[in-house]
Chains A and B, each alone.
Chain A
């Protein structure tokens, strides 16, 4: 158990809809990252938050947005969903204590758009 919790585990929704994925980081971790893994592909970095502020952005579509709340949990919002958005979405967290940047991953949310 990595200590990172993602809900829901599975989500099936129709095209055009909007969904929210939730992530609770490990206790004490200030950084939260969101990654997307599509069919047999590597993990693509979407966005990073550090202590409530956006820190880095990757290949995140304009239809997607995220935020990190004062209690450090994060939400990834996906709107106007398309079939191609079907993927595994992972959240990770790290503490940046200076010893390196190991990130610990949640179990992921499998999103299926039909």
Chain B
């Protein structure tokens, strides 16, 4: 039962263009969503997050959009740079408590390649 899904295993984009990474979730208890970036042989690095009370959060070149009714979120990177090439993981948590307090459920990841 995969509660967080990233249906695109890979994405290839030209430098300077927009990268859009997508993520879908099924668990309606999730109320906090995060994106992580991972380089080979390194741990995931936190990028940006969004609470379910918002529909957009922006941090520099990175913007996350949340559509609760569709249970869908996306990460936009504008403009894309070759250094952005990495695996991007979407993650979700039920912040409101319960036995899974703080636990992150990850998607399978999308490999982003930005070509110069």
- Interface residues of chain A, those whose CB is within 8 Å of chain B, are 2, 4, 6, 31, 33, 35, 41-45, 48, 50, 55-56, 58, 90, 92, 94, 96, 100-108
Main secondary structure of the interface of B (DSSP, over half): loop
**In the complex, A54 Cα to B109 Cα: how many Å?**
28
User: Which chain A residues border B32 with CB–CB below 8 Å?
Assistant: 100-101
Bound complex: CA of A105 vs CA of B109, how far in Å?
A: 16
Is B102 in contact with A101, judged by CB distance below 8 angstroms?
A: yes
A-B contact count (CB 8 A): 74
Which residues on B are within 8 Å of A, measured CB to CB? Answer: 32, 34, 36, 41-46, 49, 51, 89, 93, 95, 99-109
CB distance from B51 to the nearest CB of A (A): 7
The interface residues of chain A lying within 8 Å CB-to-CB of B103 are 33, 45, 48, 55-56, 58
